[in-house]
Chain A
Amino acid sequence: MLSGSKTSFKIQQHPPGPALRGPKSSDMNSKRNRNGQAFPCIPGEHVLEEAARVRKIVRSRDGEGSILGTLYCTNLRVAFVPEPAPGDTVGAPRCSTCLHSEHDVALPCIGRLVAVNSFTKAKVLTANSTLKFIPEELVLYCRDFRVLRFRFRDSGLEPRACQVTLAIVQAQESSNASAGTWYDSGAIRNLENAWLSTEESLSPPTLLFERPCDWEKELRRLGAAGWRVSPVNERFDMATSLPKYLWVPSRLLDNELKRAFGHFNARRIPRLCWHHPGGSDLLRAAGFHADSDPEKEDVRSVEALMLAGHAQCVIVETAADLPSPAEIQLSYLKLRALCLPDSSVADEKWLSALEGTRWLEHVRACVRKASEVAALLAERSRSIVLQESDDRDLNCLLASLVQVLSDPHARTQSGFQSLLQKEWVVAGHPFLQRLNLLRDNDREESPVFLLFLDCVWQLLQQFPASFEFTETYLVALHDSSYIPFFSTFLFNCQWERDRRNQHRASNQIYAPVNGWRELPPLEILQKGGRLAKERGGPYLPTIWDWALRYTTQQRAQFRNPAYARGSGSTTVPNGKSAPLGGDKLEGALSGNRAVYLFAKGALSPQTHLFPWKNGSLSKKGWWRAQSSESLSEQDRSLRSKPSGCPQQPEGLLLPASAGPLIRLWRRCYLRGSQEVQRGLFASTLAELAEELDRLRKQLGD
């Protein structure tokens, strides 16, 4: 993924046109339709084309219905505004701050456009298409599994139908080429500020991990004595893809730390992710650099990092049991094709077709591996290093999933969001590339993050009272990954996020020619490092500003009324009860330190911590050369754990991963299908909780 030695960027000038001009006055922002109803543009948005009296087809259990309204094509999205019913002032409430509604789709999220006319075949539209008929119906297949259908009036004789359809095709195509240029960040920031002042200060904040205080705060929460926040990468000069701040062993000075960087791919050294109250530490790192030739001092630094003061270190080969990003993508494409309502798969063949996508198999592998690692963490005090070649894909998934299982705090909404910031956003998961939001490089697309969300949904199914948030929240998060309005998913790493947010003022953007690339540190020092200090926060809002997209009522559905806050949130396995029998074990191995490799569910002892021999790395994978005689005792203890057992050491969730219990996330993936799934009892429970609140207040009076 990081291959390609070219550092060339194609510098694009904005094409002259409406997109460049941007909003000049409020008039432009709210182009009025014939009914005098204004379309509430967001800053930087303008309407390109519109068609009134369009019917949006909605399907439900009770059959097919439709909503009458106006269809807009703007430079950012396709939007539909229902007409208020006569005498109904509320109509369809569309708050001005809402950047998203169920009727809208951001242009980059449109997967396929199909025009339908009863006299011709349905036609898939691309930028090169010419429309030889006036469409009766326009179907938008969205990348987030939604299917939007708009029916024009006058059955195929409405000229506006043609115009708006072509406008959508054009807009979608040009958004692919020049996305990221349209927004007026200042305006969106103001929007955000306005919102921030009104509410939400009540709920615990999401730690963005952009400033050292967040790192300090979280480290204190974990109670990780022996660890400190190192600003060694503050200017991204150690590793561009790593966050500015790193958790490293206290006794390791920055100077010693610097010796380690060169020996890991992309200089992504081992660093702390999470500290188990029982003493174990979870770390993540990239693979050992193949060409490095560590000096004795370097080896000492790396060793200190990996062992982190423990007598035992388990290196988890992350990729060993998990799908590759390419496999995930392939699987996801198959899943999406299968779940679309026009899927040609016969209903009787549905199960095997679903199996054929391998999506659930991937989900199962992730859930299983995460629970194995979580069990290893809880079992005894040791350091566990998740090692993935580039440390930017499945390490993000595994590190965060292990924490969701192990740490009740990660199962609250703010804790979960902080976790995503820490292990994905600032840790440098290449979101832009993986989600391919701007459609500039299909080759690197892979929804590793969506696979993670599915895993979390599986846990929510198995432990419905252990999460503060609901399935609705996860669906919202899933959908958010296809809305290019936010800094969270638009960048490949924190350095890029910081940097791009500043360069927006100029009319140049860097369109990567060869996928995502890092710029040499020199440029960072000249520009990024200096500018970063001048800015307070990000220019673009983050995805966590839910109020920008969801109404208060919608956000109320994010909260799980069944969440039992008490259970597990304070109780965690304590160090004393953790089976710390390891000391005996170590004596038998080299010196008083033991290193194990964990792959395919088995621990195998290693004679060396490092793969380097005579100054070069065995290309085959160093550990395979070792005796892979598994440590029977360790092995047994892991495997004999009843994996479906719901009652765990307090706070720890160990999910089942057997076939029948890994299910399809129907509410997410089958949204486009004709049969609408019913929301389950969440609403019933929420209503009751609300009623209780009212009663409580009354009693308090």
Chain B
Amino acid sequence: MASSSSPKYNSNSLESSSIKRTPKDGTKWEQNEEIPHLPGETSVTDKEVIYVCPFNGAVKGRLYVTNYRLYLRSVELDPVVILDVPLGVIARIEKMGGASSRGENSYGLDITCKDMRNLRFALKQEGHSRRDIFEILTKHAFPQSHNLPFFAFVNEEKFAENGWMVYNPMPEYRRQGLPNEQWRVTFINEHYGLCDTYPSLLVVPYNATDDDLKKVAAFRSRNRIPVLSWIHPENQAVVMRSSQPLVGMSGKRNKDDERYLDIIRDANGQISKLTIYDARPSVNAVANKATGGGYEGDDAYPNAELFFLDIHNIHVMRESLKKLKDIVYPNVEESHWLSSLESTHWLEHIKLVLTGAIQVADKVSSGKSSVLVHCSDGWDRTAQLTSLAMLMLDSYYRTIVGFEVLVQKEWISFGHKFASRIGHGDKNHADADRSPIFLQFVDCVWQMSKQFPTAFEFNEQFLITILDHLYSCRFGTFLYNCESVREKEKVTERTLSLWSLINSEKAKYTNPFYNKELNRALYPVASMRHLELWVNYYIRWNPRIRQQQPNPVEQRYMELLALRDDYMRRLEELQITNNSKISNSSTSSASPSQMMSHVQTHF
């Protein structure tokens, strides 16, 4: 957020990393420009302001606004304070104080951000200076409310990699061994006729006809029928996802839906019941009957057993994160940190999501049973559960590209409503549809990576970068609610993918401790005793809370790796020269064979 050249600030403000990162990020710094610009980024205005930093006090500076970012540079050069904030992270802009306000820095703008911070700028109480900057900021921070395009559509960056090529459903299903004798690929949704929030390509039981699917769709909320997400390579048990059945108050039944679930159960020759995980608390599931929803009852589905996973809805999660922000920003609650943290329930929700995903994964893996996961609409909690279970079960998703595929598949293509949940470019900050569901998922991934530090190819910076661009609107990746809209907006043609940025400099996002061999199922410990608050994300703006960056152990490891490569190269050279000298003198190798074999494995 703020950065400076003096050692004091440099050493402890992560803020600086946001700017330092930018040039490496693919930003092309244009010569003779006062502030960094991305290709396609244009300046709109600039203005003298006072940045009221909650950590280092008031800083006089110049605020620049472009169509992509808000940028502040302090007037004083020692220390230079720099703020570099994509407009996309802005949730709300408020005027603070009035023309008659007294007191230092009491007149200006208050900006609430989506990434766990607020910004405050004080202005001079003269002319209509505030009105202008307020209007310009509002217009560009909320382009959707002002008939302006997202920056992603004017971004002209170029990357070595094309991130849109990362995910293609067909190769991904083929990787899973699909289609096979039990499962087929259907194009019934090619024009989003069956379900407008599902992807065009779906995998369904071989024994269910497209006609069957249409009948099932009529009985599932928003036509989101049970479809395959993942199949176990050995026991052929599957993870299915859907929305709730439309049971309603009268307890409606649908023979086609019942038969369809039985076909799913039968697909891997399973004798036991099909397991259905309803992500909601049972009370909520019952309450949903009033609005036409509900859950699979015992009578109608004798071959299925249903479990409720007690995960709360989007509103509860939003309030929980709000409470978390209250205790970490700007000041960290000191005297009762742990009980304050407990009272936000944030970690408890994380625990419930992880616990649910563990149950799903374990049922499929050791229970050898197919499962169906749903909540109400099947785009929030369901996405969390299926994607986390897949992350636990399939080591492919623990690679950088694999994780991108996972997000692209389970979240983006299956219609997690990113536009509604994040409110991209939308000024309605109080919209009840907003909720940090995806953030919660990434937090769960981080918890897993903490517990299995060698199992993931990506590092913490990868996760933080994803979250930063979840809001930034620099890439098309997270824009819009579903595939059909994205297709209409021609997102893949007109915008860049976040994965282009990441895959063009993978080294930066690679976990040096990653061990490919670890390809078994991983079950994290989902107990409050072992979960931790993700300090480096949630409290990253506070210079007093930061931990050593970059991680010195990681750095040391990288140094050693480089040293090893160097030794290996030199050894190889030595071997070549030795071999040419002592041509085939059979027992000359003085070094223990174990060492030699060890070395050779690397060549």
Q: Residues of A at under 8 Å CB distance from B?
A: 61, 347-352, 354-355, 360, 462-466, 561-562, 564, 642-647, 656, 658-661, 663, 666, 670, 673, 675, 677-678, 680-681, 684-685, 688-689, 691-692, 694-696, 698-699, 701
Contacts and interface: CB of A to CB of B under 8 A. Distances in A.
A678 B341 CA distance: 25
A465 B338 contact: no
A695 B556 contact: no
B180 interface: no
B560 A692 contact: yes
Contacts of A660: 328, 332, 337, 533, 535, 539, 545
B80 to A, nearest CB: 17
B266 to A, nearest CB: 30
B453 A349 contact: no
B347 A351 contact: yes
B337 A659 contact: yes
B547 A661 contact: yes
Contacts of B553: 464-465, 562, 681, 685
A258 to B, nearest CB: 47
A579 to B, nearest CB: 14
B161 interface: no
Nearest to A684: B513
Residue of B548, B561, B571 with most chain A CB atoms under a 10 A cut-off: B548
B560 A699 contact: no
Contacts of B527: 347, 350, 675
Contacts, number: 156
Nearest to A682: B553
Contact of B552 (A351, A562, A661, A698): A562
Interface string B590-601: 110001001100
Interface of B: 7-8, 11-12, 328, 332-334, 336-339, 341-342, 347-348, 351, 451-454, 513, 515, 523, 525, 527-530, 532-533, 535, 539, 543-548, 551-553, 555-557, 560-561, 563-564, 567-568, 570-571, 574, 590-591, 595, 598-599
A644 B336 CA distance: 19
12 contacts: A348-B342, A349-B342, A562-B552, A562-B557, A646-B12, A659-B332, A660-B545, A675-B525, A681-B553, A688-B561, A689-B560, A692-B560
A688 B591 CA distance: 19
Contact of A644 (B338, B347, B454, B543): B543
A355 B552 contact: no
Contacts of A352: 338-339, 342
Nearest to B555: A465
B528 A350 contact: yes
Given A656-B544, A660-B535, A680-B453, A351 B339 contact: yes
B568 A348 contact: no
B529 A350 contact: yes
Given A351-B347, A352-B339, A681-B453, A688 B560 contact: yes
Contacts of A663: 532
A645 B11 CA distance: 6
Contacts of B525: 61, 675
A239 to B, nearest CB: 40
Given A348-B348, A677-B530, A644 B332 contact: no
A435 to B, nearest CB: 26
Given A355-B339, A681-B453, 13 more contacts: A347-B529, A350-B527, A352-B338, A464-B552, A465-B553, A465-B556, A466-B552, A561-B560, A564-B556, A646-B548, A660-B545, A661-B545, A701-B590
A178 B453 CA distance: 47
B567 A355 contact: no
Contact of A642 (B334, B513, B544, B563): B544
Contact of A659 (B338, B342, B530): B338
B523 A360 contact: no
Contacts of A564: 552, 556
Contacts of B523: 61
A555 B200 CA distance: 59
A375 to B, nearest CB: 14
B551 A464 contact: yes
A696 B7 CA distance: 37
Contacts of B552: 463-466, 562, 564
A694 B595 contact: yes
B117 to A, nearest CB: 16
Nearest to B594: A694
B422 to A, nearest CB: 26
Contacts of B545: 644, 656, 658, 660-661
A332 B68 CA distance: 53
B545 to A, nearest CB: 6
Residue of A352, A463, A466, A696 with most chain B CB atoms under a 10 A cut-off: A352
Nearest to B331: A658
B91 to A, nearest CB: 24
Contacts of A355: 336-339
Nearest to B366: A63
Contact of A688 (B555, B557, B571, B599): B557
B515 to A, nearest CB: 7
Contacts of B548: 462-464, 646
Contacts of B547: 462, 644, 646, 656, 661
Contacts of B543: 642, 644-645
B353 to A, nearest CB: 14
A699 B338 contact: no
A447 B245 CA distance: 59
A354 B528 CA distance: 11
A684 B567 contact: no
A678 B339 contact: no
Contacts of B570: 699
Contacts of A701: 590-591
A269 B524 CA distance: 54
B202 to A, nearest CB: 35
A647 B11 contact: yes
Contacts of B342: 348-352
A692 B563 contact: yes
Contacts of A351: 338-339, 341-342, 347, 528
Nearest to A679: B453
Given A644-B545, A660-B533, A695-B567, A685 B12 contact: no
A701 B571 CA distance: 11
A699 B513 contact: no
A461 B513 CA distance: 18
A699 B341 contact: no
A659 B8 CA distance: 22
A684 B515 contact: yes
A685 B557 CA distance: 6
Nearest to A640: B8
Contact of B571 (A348, A677, A699): A699
A561 B533 CA distance: 27
B588 to A, nearest CB: 12
Contact of B574 (A647, A691, A699): A699
A659 B533 CA distance: 11
A676 B129 CA distance: 61
A670 B591 CA distance: 44
Residue of A661, A666, A670, A696 with most chain B CB atoms under a 10 A cut-off: A661
A587 to B, nearest CB: 29
Contacts of A347: 351, 527-529
A666 B529 contact: yes
Given A646-B548, A692-B567, A658 B334 contact: yes
Contacts of A647: 7, 11-12
A681 to B, nearest CB: 5
A695 B513 contact: no
A688 B332 CA distance: 39
Given A348-B528, A646-B548, A699 B339 contact: no
A593 B546 CA distance: 39
Contacts of A659: 332-334, 337-338
Nearest to A347: B528
B567 A696 contact: yes
A649 B494 CA distance: 51
